[in-house]
Amino acid sequence: MRLLLIVLLALFPAITALGEERPPNVVLVMADDVGYECFGAYGSRQYSTPRINKLADGGVRFTNCFSTPLCTPSRVALMTGMSNVRNYADFGALLPDQYSIADLFREAGYATAVAGKWQLQGSANAEGVPPGDGFDTYCLWNTGNTERRRFWNPSIECDGKIIDVTEDDYGPDIFTEFLLDFIEANQDRPFFAYFPMVLVHSPFLPTPHSKDRSSEDKQRNFEDMVAYTDFIVGRLQDRLEALGLLRNTVFVFTSDNGTHHDLASQLGGASIVGDKGAPTDAGTHVPLVVNAPGLIKGGRVLDDLIDFADFLPTLAEAAGLGLPDSIEPDGVSFWPRLQGHAGQPREWHYTYYFPRPFAGEFATPYTNPEVAYVRDTRYKLYRSGEFFDLRADPDETSPIRDVAPRLKSVRDKLQSALDSMPAAGERIPRERGEASRSAPRPRWH
């Protein structure tokens, strides 16, 4: 009996470990260049998105998630939990000294993978991180070592090698298969899968499901690309369910910025023209759906303001991970809100936007002078002083000139928020960004 007791005591740590609840898996999917108006969960009848709609029905849909207006700034904020005003250096660059969401999960013992669009490797003006930095494994387009093809006959780098493809190979399928294999290989341990998709960015080409594979109709092809994005989300969900992982997986779907300006979407009787690259609602209002059947109650809609810097602290809290003392994120965890608690919803959302500080004035369609603004769910204040009612003027064509007494407290609150942030980008050399920085804020319409 004594010997049996000794054996049981020796085995107790292992038995306890087996009985402990496994930390949740995290799958973070971010589409490229598609606003909230393109999804049935947000009221669209133009686009076919049944799987994302199902995600929303069984999860939590946020109505006020705002990205930056362009891809790299959003990716830097998401990866680091920091506002661009503190750590943005140049388009296509994530500074090597930045602690990232990949570091967080890998240090906690998670298996980590990234597939899709990288675009963080650096530029002529700013050193960046190597492809897949911080992740155990990667399969990426736009790594600095690949050509520009992302869809048919794509140029893709996987773990240091350019893979062999044919004209019939479709990039989004390659990325999806890579992540499905990763999930299956790591089903017995917690994993973090990050999927910054190449869909639905231009060029607008037919997908494997398109009826006309030779179509040159941008709008039609874009709608097919949105539908294929939905199909991929469904494939990921189906594999998680088949492996018995769905209930213990936090599945997030969002987008990095608004829809391309060549495209129009019908929503609620209105036509919304995409405004990618501009800090308007049509350039920054993106979908956000979080689904975790075993962890949060579904079927809810929240109007909380969500910033891309919020993803890192939120997913860290969902996984029970503390943040290192070396970082002070600007993001606020909305995990308590997902769990149904009061939490601390944001009173305002701040954006710093200077995507191409070395490009010169209006050198590309997406070069923008240095701007900063803060908003709540209705009103928006630029550092320049322009003040907008976004409910009445979502395109920002008519700044409020005379602030009525009832709006003074709103404006004062937003001004206080602006004053709490740095006056200019802290990691951009001022002398190099002077030409673009001094340009006036453009009119986008």
The interaxial angle of helices 311-318 and 71-80, nearest 10 deg, is 40
pLDDT value of residue 185: 98
pLDDT value of residue 363: 64
Classify burial at 352, counting beta carbons within 10 Å of its beta carbon; exposed 0-12, middle 13-18, buried 19 or more. Answer: buried
Its sign, for the CA torsion 132, 197, 211, 283, is: negative
Q: Which two tokens stand for residue 54?
A: 């199902």
Domain ranges of the chain: 22-338, 353-437
**pTM beyond cutoff 0.95:** no
Give the C-alpha separation, 253 to 287, whole Å: 7
pLDDT value of residue 440: 41
Give me the long-range contacts of 223-227 (CB less than 8 A, separation at least 24): 223/46, 223/47, 223/48, 225/199, 225/200, 226/34, 226/38, 226/39, 226/47, 226/48, 226/49, 226/199, 226/200, 227/47, 227/48, 227/49
Percent of the chain with pLDDT over 90: 85
- Span 261-307, pLDDT tens digits: 999 999 999 999 999 999 999 999 999 999 999 999 999 999 999 99
Distance of alpha carbon 129 from the chain centroid = 18
**pLDDT for residue 437 is more than 80:** no
- Judge whether 356 and 367 are in contact, CB under 8 Å: yes
CATH classification number, 22-338, choose in 3.30.420.10, 3.40.720.10, 3.40.50.1370, 3.50.50.60: 3.40.720.10
pLDDT value of residue 3: 41
DSSP β-bridge partners for residue 300: 60
| Three-state secondary structure call for residue 322 | coil
pLDDT value of residue 2: 41
Give the C-alpha separation, 351 to 210, whole Å: 37
Mean pLDDT over each residue of the chain, to the nearest integer? 91
- Judge whether 390 and 378 are in contact, CB under 8 Å: yes
Residue by residue, DSSP assigns 391-417 as: TT-TT--S---S--HHHHHHHHHHHHH
- Could you tell me the pLDDT band of residue 61, with boundaries at 50, 70 and 90? very high
Q: Residue 390's closest CA among 366, 373, 370, 406?
A: 373
Classify burial at 202, counting beta carbons within 10 Å of its beta carbon; exposed 0-12, middle 13-18, buried 19 or more. Answer: middle
DSSP β-bridge partners for residue 122: 127
Q: What are the C-alpha distances in Å from 277 to residues 174, 274, 281, 377?
A: 28, 9, 11, 21
- Judge whether 225 and 144 are in contact, CB under 8 Å: no
DSSP β-bridge partners for residue 192: 26, 112
Q: Which two tokens stand for residue 162?
A: 């350019």
- Judge whether 257 and 70 are in contact, CB under 8 Å: yes
Give the C-alpha separation, 255 to 258, whole Å: 8
- Span 401-424, pLDDT tens digits: 989 998 999 999 999 999 999 999
**Would you call the peptide bond into 154 cis, given omega within 30 degrees of 0 as the criterion?**
no
Taking residues 55-82, report their average pLDDT: 98
- Span 169-213, pLDDT tens digits: 999 999 999 999 999 999 999 999 999 999 999 999 999 999 999
pLDDT value of residue 289: 98
**pLDDT for residue 441 is more than 80:** no
